[in-house]
């Protein structure tokens, strides 16, 4: 009865908000555990250094597929059941990665890890169904801060665990956590049954129509694709530079990755300021901060303590720019209407994750051919392109 009253009054409780934020963080972390473990996983599975980037890219491809073909189902079938089924797929894939001894098996498991982890993008719009219009920015900001903390903690946590028990333990422990989370969400979350107006085939076809007819979605998705591409490039290349230029071990890289977690504070702040009408200003600011983050590391290269300190600062400010702009984008598209919210979110996330996959690929290629200089130049160009596109926007949203 209490849950029903919460839904009817459209006021999400603090407990449910915390649960959704924690769940999103734990689930989406699965996409990033392998990012700092490319070296040991490649050795164990026989992947060449040239193909090692596939470890991250294949997971992101699985995630994009899930965003396009699973997340839209949240507009068609009961959300809690859909989340549980997808999480079971993720648990099985994590166990597969744990015991994989060859590259094809590990990459196949990675694809399904990405596919099952789209539950995070079912839960974020689910939170907005339980919230009122005036608190939507705050709710999205708080839930997304949990998701972003999961992204940022995934790298250092995976590195620390690997340094103690080996990389297989990362996936085994995550399988246990996600299995427990599946049971908890199934028992605690209220049902949310949408009122479908079309079948699945028409639902998928409608994605193209939504993209064509929703300029806010196109702009916000492209803004975030450029920023997330730069973010993915940075975190693909930074561990390589830390090992090559500063002689850091897996544990040292973990401490570096931990510093970037500070950037997650931008998410709830951006959400609150967006509720006050600051979205346009903050969007431009996020892009400028991302450009300056890479510019600093390009101008001050080398092996000095100053160069390392600037790299740490860049990690924090870049994470702030990307996390803040993500909340601004999601708030904008969630304000477009509730009937298509799952599809809008799926399109938004899939487009910017494609940007992330491109950034990861460009990172590995650029570092191999031009070192940090070429990689950081590409990192500057991506958010700069977003900023130039932003200047063409008539009404800042």
pLDDT tens digit string along 339-371?
677 778 778 888 988 898 888 888 878 888 888
Note whether 86 and 122 are within 8 A (CB).
Answer: yes
pLDDT of 30: 95
Alpha-carbon distance of 85 to 73, in angstroms, equals 12
- What number of other Cβ atoms are within 10 A of residue 195's Cβ? 7
2-390, CATH topology level: Growth Hormone; Chain: A; (1.20.1250)
Mind listing the pLDDT tens digit for each residue in 266-314? 777 887 888 788 888 999 999 999 999 999 999 988 888 889 999 999 9
Span 88-104, average pLDDT: 95
Of 277, 317, 350, nearest in space to 121 by CA: 350
Angle, CA 325 vertex, CA 321 and CA 331 arms, to 5°: 155
Alpha-carbon distance of 153 to 158, in angstroms, equals 8
Mind listing the pLDDT tens digit for each residue in 115-139? 999 998 888 878 877 776 666 677 7
Is residue 333 predicted with pLDDT exceeding 90? no
Alpha-carbon distance of 229 to 220, in angstroms, equals 14
Mind listing the pLDDT tens digit for each residue in 181-219? 999 999 988 888 877 777 888 888 888 888 888 899 999
Taking the CA atoms of 43, 48, 50 and 52 in sequence, report the sign of the dihedral they define. Answer: negative
Q: Is the pTM of this model over 0.85?
A: no
- What number of other Cβ atoms are within 10 A of residue 160's Cβ? 17
């Amino acid at each position: 009865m209490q849950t029903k009253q919460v839904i009817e009054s459209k006021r999400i409780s603090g407990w449910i908000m915390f649960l959704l934020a924690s769940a999103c963080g734990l689930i989406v972390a699965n996409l990033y555990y392998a990012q700092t473990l490319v070296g040991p996983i490649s050795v164990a599975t026989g992947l060449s250094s040239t193909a090692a980037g596939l470890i991250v890219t294949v997971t992101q491809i699985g995630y994009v597929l899930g965003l396009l073909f699973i997340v839209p189902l949240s507009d068609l079938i009961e959300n809690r059941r859909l989340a549980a089924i997808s999480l079971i797929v993720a648990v099985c894939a994590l166990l597969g990665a744990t015991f994989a001894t060859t590259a094809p098996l590990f990459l196949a498991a990675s694809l399904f890890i990405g596919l099952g982890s789209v539950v995070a993008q079912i839960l974020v719009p689910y939170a907005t169904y339980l919230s009122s219009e005036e608190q939507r920015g705050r709710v999205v900001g708080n839930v997304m801060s949990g998701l972003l903390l999961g992204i940022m903690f995934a790298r250092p946590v995976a590195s620390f665990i690997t340094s103690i028990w080996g990389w297989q333990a990362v996936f085994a422990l995550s399988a246990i956590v996600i299995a427990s989370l599946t049971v908890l969400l199934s028992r605690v979350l209220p049902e949310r049954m949408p009122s479908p107006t079309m079948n699945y085939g028409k639902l998928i076809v409608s994605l193209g129509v939504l993209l064509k007819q929703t300029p806010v979605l196109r702009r916000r998705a492209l803004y975030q694709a450029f920023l997330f591409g730069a973010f993915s490039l940075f975190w693909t290349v930074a561990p390589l530079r830390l090992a090559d230029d500063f002689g850091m071990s897996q544990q040292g890289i973990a401490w570096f990755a931990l510093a970037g977690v500070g950037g997650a504070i931008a998410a709830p702040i951006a959400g609150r300021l967006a509720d006050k009408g600051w979205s346009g200003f903050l969007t431009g600011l996020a892009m400028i901060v991302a450009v300056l983050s890479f510019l600093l590391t390009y101008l001050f290269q080398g092996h000095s303590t100053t160069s390392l300190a600037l790299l740490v600062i860049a990690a924090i400010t870049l994470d702030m720019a990307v996390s803040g702009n993500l909340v601004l984008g999601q708030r904008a598209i969630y304000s477009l209407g509730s009937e298509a919210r799952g599809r809008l979110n799926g399109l938004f996330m899939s487009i910017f994750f494609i940007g992330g996959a491109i950034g990861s690929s460009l990172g590995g290629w650029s570092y191999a051919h031009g070192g940090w200089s070429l990689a950081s130049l590409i990192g500057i160009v991506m958010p700069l392109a977003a900023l130039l596109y932003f200047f063409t926007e008539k009404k800042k949203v």
